[in-house]
Amino acid sequence: MRVMLVEDDPALADTISRALKSQVDAQVDWTARGEPVTVSLQSDDYDLLVLDIGLPGIDGFEVLRRVRAAGLRLPVLVLTGREAIDDRVHGLELGADDYMVKPFALPEMVARAKALVRRARGQSAGTRTAVGRLVMDASARRAWVAGQEIELPAREWQLLEYLLRHLGKVVSKEHLVSSLSGWEGDVSENAVEVYVSRLRGKLTGSGLRIRTVRGFGYLLEESDADPA
């Protein structure tokens, strides 16, 4: 799960980030201002936007309006200190998917974030994803090929999840770098090549292969052929 967190309180942002990272292994990119949000969401692949309303500069309502006006459909969880019903209604009418009033319980916030992402991906709690002879259990973080469990470190798991969401589509190496990195940019293109190579070996016998499309990127497709 990759999350953009927009919150102007650094202490609260750090607390939320730590909770999401520790409980759902999320990658969290944080900004204290709303102005760069829409461009960032258009440039990278995010699963969830966690958005505070009381921001410096443009407020969270305007950020939300711009996000939806740009055609971005990712789920949005709004956080606010405003308890007025009119504010909640306004946020939902602008396109928020859920709304939490501060102070809130972190376990509840994390549970709501997970539920929003599951809903957006068309999943329900406890379900598994099965493609070919590959089965992935997102809640347990376990995967099997032809009934045999395979070990997937965190980066390889993220890579496989991303490729499965884009099954049958070419994804660029740059997008994979972005998906596997936070804003710290701690994954290089060379590292992506290594992860792809390892994942290819582990997918042998799965009915899936990762094909290199020269000059464009990688393509995960269903095939009984060995990866090339």
Query: 50 has which bridge partners?
Result: 5, 77
Evaluate if residue 202 carries a pLDDT over 50: yes
Pairing of strands 76-80, 98-101: parallel
| Average pLDDT value over all residues in the chain | 88
Evaluate if residue 137 carries a pLDDT over 50: yes
Evaluate if residue 144 carries a pLDDT over 70: yes
CA distance 137 to 210: 20
Average pLDDT over residues 162-186: 79
> Regarding predicted confidence, which is higher, 12 or 189?
12
Evaluate if residue 127 carries a pLDDT over 70: no
pTM of the model: 0.64
pLDDT in the model for residue 126: 54
Average pLDDT over residues 81-108: 88
Q: What is the pLDDT of residues 178-200, one digit of tens each?
A: 777 764 456 788 889 999 999 99
Evaluate if residue 125 carries a pLDDT over 80: no
Average pLDDT over residues 2-13: 95
pLDDT in the model for residue 227: 44
Confidence category of residue 225, pLDDT binned at 50, 70, 90: low
Evaluate if residue 87 carries a pLDDT over 70: yes
Q: What is the pLDDT of residues 38-52, one digit of tens each?
A: 999 988 889 999 999
Place of tokens 């974030």: 113
